[in-house]
Chain A
Amino acid sequence: MTNPPVPRPFPHQHAGHCESGTVSALLRDRGLTLGEPMWFGIGSGLFFLHTGLVRVGGLPLTAYRVAPLAIVRNATRRLGIRMRYERFRDGETAARRLDELLSQGVAVGLQTCVYWLPYFPSTMRFQFNGHNVVAFARDASGYWLSDTVFEDVVCCPPDALARARFARGAFAPRGLLYYPESIPADPDIEGAVRSGIRATCRQMLDIPMLPVGVRGVRALGRRIAQWPARLGADRARAQVAQVVRMQEEIGTGGAGFRFLFAAFLAQAADHIGLSGLRDLSKEMTAIGDEWRQFALVGAHICKGTRPDADAYRELAALLAALARREEALFRELRAMA
């Protein structure tokens, strides 16, 4: 298949995560160049949550990140960028407004549902409403999107995009589009980095009562060893598979955003001249490697290539160790910011 020519140049960059990638591309197009890891860190994207109270396809929700759109909102606010968010009642008005902005040369962020985007591999299409892309042009072949999960820009047929923008259910996008209205000439990057770091530490350490953040990792570690006995082998396996998918499959830059956060710490060290952050970046990388080990053992469980009792015990031990290491890291990080 030969692709039609792209109607206008767009500074597309391959990214680990859709939301930090989208906001990074959107602002790069407007002259503010800041790498994806910086957006992820400033937007305090890192989190951990595992709860049976919310279910995805009948399985407990696992999230390694904050709620959809929180990264865009927090990062732009901390950098002093004023954003405009528009939602719509119906698809026609939404499409008209999008066309209007594109014809003025304004690239916009869109919230979409992955399931209806035809350029996704069929194995990765599932009902998830929090996927972000940039639309930057429209021509006879369709809408031109910078979907940062992929290496190159893509062209999407209008009816598919309309469906993706108006899918219903949890986090329904209701046609959401967003774009920067004003960008400070000289944003306070150091202030934004520090406040992003403090917020990340709060999310990971301080949220009371609920088993989230570091305590969420620890709580999952305590419970996971009991899954086979409590839920039966099949159900336990399905839940392990789901945790690992959320960690690796859905665009996290690897290890449930831990490598992306490590990259942020390293880049932040240069931006604000705080060399201690570089050591913490190394530790975060080592922690990410352990999360990969967790995924590997999870895959063995799904394939049945290791005795269950043994493998679940290792999962529990890995999570306990991860909780300990992450807690120490965030305490040290807080002391620096």
Chain B
Amino acid sequence: MKINDVPQDDSVLEGRRRACYAEDDRGAYVVVPSRGWEVERIVNEHARAALAEALETARRAVLAGRLSPLAYHMTAGQMGARLLAANAGVSWWRVRRHLRPKVFARLSRDTLERYAQALGLSVEDLTRVPETAS
């Protein structure tokens, strides 16, 4: 890739620039800051759309009483049950149980705090989900 071919499309970098390696006129490699590449934006949006869809599915399931708010916030934090378990210091099978609304509703303050801490939320936010899709 030549310096002039380094893409400068506004992309996933939100105004920041990343370093690309490209050849200058004399064929020597230099670092060229790039604002991003359209291709990146497309594949990133594709992946994020899938995440957003999973989150919305979880949100509806919580409002319908099929899953606990923990399931929603776990999805929002891009975590699976195993990763959340490791981050919260709760065993994996207990995390799975806590995805059920009835079990979740009986959780101790201490356990709720562990989850809140692991997900970077307050306990109040952990126990509810947004009324409308984000």
Contact = CB atoms under 8 A, between A and B. Distances in A.
Interface of A: 13-16, 21, 36-37, 57, 115-116, 121-124, 126-127, 148-151, 163, 167-169, 172, 237-238, 240-242, 244-245, 248-249, 251, 253-255, 259-260, 262-263, 266-267, 281-282, 285, 288-289, 292, 295-296, 298-299, 302-303
Given A241-B43, A253-B19, A285-B23, 4 more contacts: A16-B20, A124-B13, A241-B47, A248-B43
Give the interface centre of B43, B86, B120 by most chain A CB atoms within 10 Å: B43
Contacts of A295: 39, 43
B14 interface: yes
A244 B42 CA distance: 10
Given A123-B14, A241-B47, A262-B29, A253 B21 contact: yes
Interface residues on B, range: 35 or more
Given A16-B31, A115-B78, A299 B43 contact: yes
Interface in B33-64: 33, 37-40, 42-44, 46-48, 50-51
A168 B86 contact: yes
A305 to B, nearest CB: 9
B20 A303 contact: no
A241 B46 contact: yes
B49 to A, nearest CB: 10
A241 to B, nearest CB: 4
B22 interface: yes
Contacts of A163: 120
A212 B20 CA distance: 25
B87 A123 contact: no
Contacts of B6: 254
Contacts of B107: none
Nearest to B47: A241
B112 to A, nearest CB: 18
A14 B37 contact: no
B17 interface: yes
18 contacts: A123-B14, A168-B83, A168-B87, A169-B83, A169-B86, A244-B40, A244-B43, A248-B37, A249-B40, A251-B18, A254-B1, A254-B20, A259-B20, A262-B29, A289-B1, A299-B38, A299-B42, A299-B43
B96 interface: no
A116 B119 CA distance: 10
Nearest to A296: B39
Given A37-B29, A123-B44, A127-B78, A116 B120 contact: yes
A244 B45 CA distance: 12
Contact of A248 (B23, B29, B39, B77): B39
B43 A259 contact: no
Give the interface centre of A126, A254, A259 by most chain B CB atoms within 10 Å: A254
